[in-house]
Amino acid sequence: MGKIYVRVDDRLIHGQTIVAWCPTLGIKEIIGIDDESAKNPTLKSIMKMSVPPAYTAHIVNTEEAGALLKEGSANNRLVIVKFPGKLPLIAEAIKGCEFIMLGNISKRTDSKHKLSGATGIFYLSDRDVEDIDALVKQGFKVNFQQLPNSAKTDWDSFRKTIK
């Protein structure tokens, strides 16, 4: 049985994912979960075109993701969601994942908390913090890390900076 890794990145599938994370983690299958992208055939096609043939890529909605993940795989999988709010919806399907890495989220109107890394910034809302706290309480390992060779900040360390 392959391993599951989870990344939160509002860019979903992009160069860092393909060039840095996939080889480092031995990924063979990428599952991008975004309800809007999944129902847009053109956007879905464009995202899949950016993925080399060495990887199987899926752009799916939340429901499809749950079914796909329950099927299991012999390959290592990278599950990518745009925002932390999606994680509670797929928590059962990703139970047992190696870790959840917080990668990149641009500032939004409800953003209140910021974590800067080597190559980006991760903005969180109070709701995002609550969702991640709940996942940590369920036993998920969560950290902020932009690239495999960049510094890693675990959730507990970041959480202490939030007032």
Please, what are the domains in the chain? Answer: 4-159 (3.40.35.10)
25 close to 76: Cβ distance less than 8 angstroms: yes
Q: Note the pLDDT tens digit of each residue in 38-60.
A: 999 999 999 899 899 999 999 99
pLDDT value of residue 122: 82
Q: Note the pLDDT tens digit of each residue in 64-97.
A: 999 999 998 999 999 999 999 999 999 999 999 9
CA distances from 101 to 2, 54, 148 (A): 18, 23, 10
pTM of the predicted model as reported, rounded to 2 decimal places: 0.93
